[in-house]
Amino acid sequence: MASMAAKTYNIATLCLPRDMCKAEKNEMATKLGFYRSRRVAMVTSKNGKFSVRTSAGGTPRSVKTINGKVNGVHVGEGTLFGNKNSAELIKDSDIDAPAHSSLHGNFVEGRFVYRQTFVIRSYEIGPDKTATMETLMNLLQETALNHVTSSGLAGNGFGATREMSIRKLIWVVTRIHIQVQRYSSWGDVVEIDTWVDAAGKNGMRRDWIIRDYKTQEIITRATSTWVIMNRETRRLSKIPEQVRQEVLPFYLNRVAVATEKNDSEKIDKLTDGTAGRIRSGLAPRWSDMDANQHVNNVKYIGWILEQSVPINVLGDYDLTSMTLEYRRECRQSNLLESMTSATASLAEDSNCKNNSINRRPDLEYTHLLRMQADKAEIVRARTEWHLKQKHKLH
């Protein structure tokens, strides 16, 4: 049998009762060796656990999972024993499909929109058993990165295209706005669509919508602006024409958040005199760093919310809107301060009708995350909160 390729890709694992797989001394009980030239994959078993792998020469190949799920979503069934030969589990029609078609997501609407599904895991929820704002932001970021990878544009950078990698350029987010209609619960499946468009001469806009997979209700909308930075000098750069030509075929003139509903107003700067709450001594951890060697932008949300928002607000209100303006990057060696100032309750304004149509917030806060040493701003933020339904009933 020919030697196996240097890389393999685990596609699915099937656990069976031990008496169905009698292997001595942990040796392979079944090994069907198939390689790319023969348009097949490999099924192996060890200690009662079966694994399906594709060969790794060139583009990874995909195989449907056996009686399994992709990220918790059931995708197909197969019979390992009985009248079927094991090799029949691997269908030629599946082998030609890109790996991301079942594992990551897929393109819709003529490859302009990238769509991916996720299950809300137990470690992604808060005390009320619903997804947190950090969870939503992480899912948006994951979908965006998979969009770039699946498009065939990815270079060797974190979300960078090939032409960007050649020039040592990376994408950095400057502003993001997210509106949450409803938070998913533990075990719910969500479907995320993302697409990109130009933002001025030297920026790119990326939008997302999150749907409840079962009902197809849109429960979250988000929009963001990105610019290019040199990975080594850490200075912003114009978009090179070669990069522009790479991403131009993927531009879609569509917005997730309507212009009149987008929070585009400037966020006021907080000072020691205007901030109602200040927490100092916040230290980034090594695990807070991302592949671009700075603190992941989602990490800032935890510092903003957990460190300076009153605990009763976190428990009694839902965070329904958040806008972040990123001013500078942060490294592990920096100590930070989190500052928050409350705005008067908008719902108490007699001229405003707070109902399900206009969804006026009950509370609004302005936030600032800054360096503790020189007070340099890292990110400004604005949040809107609605009283949770269970509290409105009392």
Which candidate in 104, 177, 330, 334 is catalytic? 330
How many C-alpha atoms does 298 have within 13 Å on its Cβ side?
A: 15
Which candidate in 292, 296, 297, 334 is catalytic? 292
Which candidate in 177, 294, 367, 386 is catalytic? 294
Residue whose tokens read 């770039």: 148
CA-based angle 239:169:57, to the nearest 5?
Answer: 115
**Residue 15 designated active-site:** no
Fill in the DSSP letter of residue 266. Answer: P
Please choose, from the candidates 28, 50, 55, 24, the residue with its C-alpha nearest in 3D space to the C-alpha of residue 40: 55
| Amino acid occupying residue 314 | L
d(CA 221, CA 257): 6
d(CA 237, CA 7): 36
How many C-alpha atoms does 138 have within 13 Å on its Cβ side?
A: 18
The answer for residues whose C-beta is within 8 angstroms of residue 73's C-beta and 6 or more apart is 117, 119, 189
The answer for residues whose C-beta is within 8 angstroms of residue 137's C-beta and 6 or more apart is 176, 178, 297, 298, 301
d(CA 208, CA 305): 23
**Residue 292 designated active-site:** yes
C-beta separation of 8 from 42 below 8 A: yes
C-beta separation of 177 from 323 below 8 A: yes
**Residue 394 designated active-site:** no
Residue whose tokens read 């691997």: 90
Please choose, from the candidates 275, 297, 322, 323, the residue with its C-alpha nearest in 3D space to the C-alpha of residue 173: 297
How is residue 108 written in tokens?
A: 């819709």
Residue whose tokens read 């999972």: 65
Q: For 92, phi and psi rounded to 5 degrees?
A: -60, -35
**Active site residues per annotation:** 292, 294, 330
